[in-house]
Structure 1
């Protein structure tokens, strides 16, 4: 599939927003009185953070790739 720069930048903006929310979720859960109770949610959020970071990096790479005409 082909995407234009505008579509890619909007996707990255949405990913960045989701990353921010996930990071805040992890902070909140880890700060709870008994964070082990939330271990699975914390693990899931951290895995999602990693996946979104990879996606954002790949989008950034694609946007910054020199165009060959």
Structure 2
């Protein structure tokens, strides 16, 4: 099962780039089954930063709760 890495809801630049950075760190450390996601679309500032560095925004998810109602946070 892929581990989803995300910040807070209605993410700002810090929340999105932190999730992306931690996911990349995990991949380089050998944990390749991770994905940075966002709990909401990027705001204008975040879009500007990602566009400036030519980085794709993470996939947006609606909730961190799984279908069975559980949510594992580590």
* Pairwise TM-score range, normalised by the shorter structure: 0.3 to 0.5
The structure richer in helix per residue is 1
TM-score normalized by structure 2?
Answer: 0.34
TM-score by length of 1: 0.35
Higher strand proportion (structure 1 or 2): 2
Whose Rg is larger?
A: 1
Question: Per chain length, whose mean CA-contact separation is higher, i.e. which structure has more relative contact order (CA < 8 Å, sep 6+)?
Answer: 1
